[in-house]
A and B are shown apart, each in its own frame.
Chain A
């Protein structure tokens, strides 16, 4: 298993690197290098913990400094002032920082209107509020600063610098291991889905609030532990040293430079940026380092937002060569600087070679390539590079990926599985889903006025009506994205008003979107795997990626399994929507204009897919403009107009209803 092997790898890396202080003197490595490496691990931990929230889920935080500060002040106050054992203060620091993170998350992520920008600004304000509290409160700081003395520890741990190095190493490698494990498990995938399209993720069963809380909690925990050790390292904690904007600038810059969509990215960024920072201050350019780092950030975001890791993955050898050659030359000449300067020279050349081609490409093709999508409804606050960043999708599960091995009799398997999962539930008379006297008002606009609607097992209900009649609003209410102003919604026996959409999805309600909303950074196969992991099957990552193929075959999309959503056409995206909904193993499927914009051949194909889904016994609601299609498919028709039910019954009767004809064709005078 990838996960197990990987974590063993981290343990080995830790043990090997922890030996460095022991072999340092025989190898003739100066102690300053140990200090340097320790700080590299500190920044690795900070950038990686930041990336778990902000890189994976896309909720950018400027509040990293608050977590570091809480960690540092916890240790400074408890150990420096009150003499509590240093090693005991580390977990306390982590815990307090975790609590702060959860408090921020509980407030921010509850906001219905929260957008990425607002979250970023909220987190920007947190450190300043805490700073003013620390400055005023003499029990914390009071403007004096706190001295952190050397702690007592067993002699076996070596000198003070050895101890600091090993502590930082533990936090740094630990953070990387956590980020790695998340990327290789459902947790990380949920965050990637939130990053791509949060509402869709919630709709197919991802408890998004819980996952965001988990991510911000980890961010706070790791950052707080790092901050606690940092307090010991600097020896004197004052508000300027922990609260300033250096911390957020560093972690953002490191992650953006290294790459935000992979666990290794922040580590690469931390290596480069901290080496640069260290060399700048060693050469007396301290006053310029922030100028340089700030400029790098601004340039990177414009020119190469996908970062080093993606570039290294695409063409590693030229970049590695560009890194090694300057080091070799400088080492052989031996006329300038010390080894760290040579490394910095190599890193600079390597980074420029890695990132430069993108700059050139941008210049040739400006405009849409840079991607202005102000009104994109996808809740994805950060816009990664236009060329798709390599997501874990590419390297994780080796087996099924890429090879489109036909799955034996996939369609029948799915029908049988769906039927079995339906039979497994207690048979119950009455509708699978119903809404009773539902009203929905948006401000002064009444989109629905007293609509009652129910779907019996095995039915295909056609929901039709002119534009603005409330069809999509009704779908939103049934799937829990909208809360009815008055009235009740029941799935089976369960009243679902007020339940989160993911909980309603787990009760067996699946929906598709009028405009397909795939997870843009995942392959077609992984889009479906998301449903299998977070829908009612609750499969593990590896099982889900195999099973996804069956669902793709069912809708006839298996040949595009390895493609990105941006590479498939509208019809295929709509089939993907269906496959993804189907993979949730729903009891009722809400198809919101799944045929809009298709040509006649594609429509017939899609209708055939809907019929096959129906064979398995899943109840279906077809929201549609095309009456021909609805007439073919539906066993019952419901007509909405102006937010009210206009007519209901079997298709033939309803379509002859004078009121319906009027609603659709206008009155005789107009016709």
Chain B
């Protein structure tokens, strides 16, 4: 095994990490800002992926352009979900249970409609899957490169939104102290629905990129769980930029471990990493003053 193989695995892994960061972004923001652990976020990603698959194969739309349709749809779904969580005043913990139920419902519905078998867009529909960009000795698989770029754009966008705009600042104020924020006239129901919608939109993008990159099966969310939550926790709950950094780091590590030892050890390594992270820096690795 050469250094180059390992580097190549690290690069491919880091790019995949961008996809994980994209999946984790919405989850992390709603958890940190709204105190909802939204397992149904995985259901939205799954729906996004299958909608892309459906639109591309049935209607012949370029898979990358399907987000024009899926993002608004999932924005609406995500916003409505968050509104409902607010309406029923779910506690952080109960949100975990309710959304677990919702996730199971969606996975089963997807399985009933699209079958439990693997689905993959044909090469004519999805020319991106097999392409890659060559740079010197290294190859960058196109779908993952796209995911990586999308992650940077969306993470950067949400970061600017939260830091610079009125609604973003209001959300952060709400995350820090709900009652004080409410006393200052922050309408958390509308802002919450907005953030839920944004999370839904990122789920649509993530789902599209999943569909472009790999075959789909209804049980995919359960494969994402471990690694995505690792990214959320390591990045610091509610921290967009931390999520991106954690995604890249975890992805690169998983890629290298898979090549250096065997693919089966990757989940173990990542799982151990979460535990170590929780032990050492409970508020996340990529957070200033996280200890």
Contact = CB atoms under 8 A, between A and B. Distances in A.
Interface of A: 60, 62, 107, 110-114, 116-118, 120-122, 124-126, 128-129, 132-133, 135-137, 244-245, 249, 252-253, 256, 287-288, 290-291, 293-298, 301-302, 305, 366-368, 370-375, 381-383, 443
B3 to A, nearest CB: 26
A290 B97 contact: no
Contacts of B279: 110-111
A124 B96 CA distance: 11
B163 interface: no
Contacts of B98: 297-298, 301-302
B111 A371 contact: no
B112 A287 contact: yes
B97 A125 contact: no
22 contacts: A110-B279, A117-B93, A118-B278, A121-B37, A121-B233, A122-B275, A125-B225, A129-B267, A136-B263, A249-B101, A290-B105, A293-B101, A294-B105, A297-B104, A298-B98, A301-B98, A301-B101, A302-B88, A366-B89, A371-B89, A374-B35, A381-B93
A301 B100 CA distance: 11
B178 interface: yes
A117 B226 CA distance: 14
B274 interface: yes
A382 B149 CA distance: 39
Nearest to A133: B264
B275 to A, nearest CB: 6
Contacts of A443: 289, 291
B105 A295 contact: yes
B259 interface: no
Contacts of B129: none
B282 A249 contact: no
A567 to B, nearest CB: 22
A293 B230 CA distance: 28
Which of B35, B93, B178 gathers the greatest number of chain A CB atoms within 10 Å?
Answer: B93
B91 interface: yes
B271 interface: yes
Contacts of B225: 124-125, 128
Interface in B236-291: 262-264, 267-268, 271, 274-275, 278-279, 282-283, 289, 291
B92 interface: yes
A367 B262 CA distance: 52
A374 B35 CA distance: 8
Contacts of B99: 298
Interface string B101-119: 1111101110110000000
Given A294-B102, A294-B103, A372-B89, A252 B97 contact: yes
B229 interface: yes
B98 to A, nearest CB: 5
Grouping DSSP codes into helix (H, G, I), strand (E, B) and loop, the A interface class, with mixed when no group exceeds half, is: helix
B250 to A, nearest CB: 13
A291 B226 contact: no
B101 A118 contact: no
Given A111-B282, A290-B105, A121 B88 contact: no
Contacts of A117: 37, 92-93, 96
Contacts of A136: 262-264
B222 interface: yes
Given A121-B229, A128-B267, A132-B267, 9 more contacts: A111-B282, A120-B96, A133-B268, A253-B101, A287-B112, A288-B112, A290-B104, A298-B97, A375-B178
B265 to A, nearest CB: 9
What 6 A-B pairs come out closest when comparing CB atoms? A113-B282, A297-B101, A298-B101, A294-B104, A136-B264, A370-B89
Contacts of B291: 443
Nearest to B34: A374
A132 B254 CA distance: 14
Nearest to A137: B264
B264 A297 contact: no
A410 to B, nearest CB: 40
Interface in B187-242: 219, 222-223, 225-226, 229-230, 233
A216 to B, nearest CB: 16
Contacts of A366: 87, 89
Contacts of A245: 104, 222
Given A111-B282, A128-B267, A293 B104 contact: yes
